[in-house]
Amino acid sequence: MAAKTANHKAWWLVAPVVALVAFNALIPMMTVVNYSFQETFGDNVFFFEGFKWYEQVLGSERFHAALGRQLAFTFTILVIEIPLGVAVALAMPRKGIGVSVCLVLMALPLLIPWNVVGAMWNIFALPDIGLLGRALNGLGLAYDFTQDPTSAWITTIVMDVWHWTSLVVLLAYAGLRSIPEAYYQAAKIDGASAWAIFRHIQLSKMKRVLTIAVLLRFMDSFMIYTEPFVLTGGGPGNTTTFLSIDLVKIALGQFDLGPAAAMSLIYFLIVLLLSWVFYSLMMRNEER
């Protein structure tokens, strides 16, 4: 039997795209790397500073506080959105016009631009004129996300859950629809309970799509900027000042390009490392 020869001609078709993406990614990154090791006082005069900015960022309480808020936010929305998305997907119909209606409704939040989401929730939650704000205050709750840190934190989380749970729902629903009907028929014959069907059939078959959902939501939530910035501006105080917002404040607000460049690279490495850890742990559990 003749051995198969590998055909690498297809790589030439994607080579232009790969080259373009590499060019667009590498040039800005090399600029950031350059700034992270140097200091400038204008007129394009640079002074080599070595690892000074990295040491400054890693030793900064401001960076640690922003990282802590970011981790808390990411963990919270993952704990809420993944189970909620799976629950909604399980409740959706599998046949009839209800399927199309539900899919369209689930896709609607994902079609709204991020800055518009922040603006919508800002108006919706204003304590004086917003429908949500007036309703909560009318019930006797002291709600004011512009002044109260707890209200601002909860509003930011609820906004993200409203915006992005649909992504988890669509991925989980796609995983459920890929399960052959024979599995359910066999479970029915064996007298399996609803919990047993969910645990051993549905959840087992959804592992891959849920892995993708967790990774996507982790990366998106860890890099969130537009929605909380438009909603709260990072306030009140620094309550919702996540890593991305703090980075922009340093780079554009204070115009400290060296520390901002070092922080952006550290930020990138944190996202890359945590994503790799998430993926490795999930794939290891799936193999088991």
CATH number at 199 reads 1.10.3720.10
| Residue 79 and residue 164 share a domain | yes
Give the pLDDT score at 2.
53
Within-domain flag for 5: no
Could you tell me the pLDDT band of residue 154, with boundaries at 50, 70 and 90? very high
The pTM of this model reads 0.83
Give the pLDDT score at 286.
63
Query: What is the average pLDDT value for the chain, to the nearest integer?
Result: 86
Give the pLDDT score at 251.
84
Tokens standing for residue 161: 């859950």
| Residue 28 and residue 157 share a domain | no
The β-bridge partners of 48 are 38
Helix or strand holding residue 266 (H, E): helix 257-287
Evaluate if residue 287 carries a pLDDT over 80.
no
Within-domain flag for 61: no
Domain count, the chain: 2
| Residue 16 and residue 80 share a domain | no
Evaluate if residue 108 carries a pLDDT over 60.
yes
Q: What percentage of the chain exceeds 70 in pLDDT?
A: 95
Query: Mean per-residue pLDDT for 194-212?
Result: 85
Distance set, CA 25 to CA 31, 35, 276 (Å): 10, 16, 20
Tokens standing for residue 275: 């994503």
Please give the residue range of the domain that contains residue 25. 12-50
Query: Mean per-residue pLDDT for 233-240?
Result: 87
Lowest mean pLDDT among 39-43, 156-160, 170-174: 39-43
Within-domain flag for 56: no
pLDDT tens digits, 160-199: 999 999 999 999 998 888 888 888 888 888 888 888 888 8
Within-domain flag for 3: no
Evaluate if residue 81 carries a pLDDT over 90.
yes
Q: Are 224 and 160 in contact (CB under 8 A)?
A: yes
Enumerate the H helices of 92-197 as residue ranges.
Answer: 97-111, 114-125, 131-138, 149-177, 181-189, 194-197
Tokens standing for residue 65: 């506080």
Q: Find all residues with CB under 8 Å of 234, minimum gap 6, and list them.
A: 228, 240, 241, 242, 245, 246, 249
